[in-house]
Chain A
């Protein structure tokens, strides 16, 4: 079965650069979630989209923005990167109406290293 696809798997950027992370949800899933997981930390919710509209916002820095496109894929844009942005970034998708029954499906993540 198709899973949540994230790209790239690894990314190395320098401070003050920008980065774009991509997420391709499971086909027909209408909701996308982004999470950030720092070293030794638990995943932290950043932002979510339902039917291409932002549905909720967590602890996402103002330097970050995200959107969901007409084909339901989502991109997380990160500017003015800081060393503290080094983390694993996970995307998850769900079908809202059945999200309770099926659980959220997470991608394998993008490991961002800022040097």
Chain B
């Protein structure tokens, strides 16, 4: 699976949009981009995933560049409860051996 690079930490003001970048320059054609987050000591939580089109759900939006080498997770109106470590993970589809491999994510601190 392709490696990802994320900033170690970011700050965001409460109520503002949080834009979390991720580089995945070695992504292959059949690999998806997943985003998970982990609030302190809780189990990781699925946020969103995409292949090449931009995606939106009730939690966030995912913008994937046309060359698929990078993506941005957008939390439109960050709240204090969004403070967490955000993981960008690239993973192929299907197969009994597909598994999430967590790298070093981004610690997002939402400030009041």
Contact = CB atoms under 8 A, between A and B. Distances in A.
Interface in A89-115: 90, 92, 96-97, 99-109, 111
B107 to A, nearest CB: 11
A79 interface: no
A104 B100 contact: yes
Given A90-B44, A105-B46, A106-B45, A100 B100 contact: no
A99 B42 CA distance: 21
- Interface residues of B toward A: which range? 20 to 34
A45 B41 contact: no
A104 B46 contact: yes
B41 to A, nearest CB: 7
Interface residues of A, number: 30
A17 interface: no
Nearest to B36: A103
B44 A45 contact: no
A43 B34 contact: no
Contact of B103 (A42, A58, A99): A42
Contact of B94 (A58, A100, A103, A104): A100
A79 B93 CA distance: 34
A31 interface: yes
Nearest to B93: A100
A97 B94 CA distance: 7
19 contacts: A31-B96, A33-B99, A33-B100, A42-B105, A45-B100, A45-B101, A48-B99, A58-B99, A96-B96, A100-B32, A100-B94, A106-B44, A106-B45, A107-B43, A108-B42, A108-B43, A109-B41, A109-B42, A111-B41
Interface of B: 32, 34, 36, 38, 41-47, 49, 85, 87, 93-94, 96-105
Interface of A: 4, 31, 33, 35, 42-45, 48, 50, 55-56, 58, 88, 90, 92, 96-97, 99-109, 111
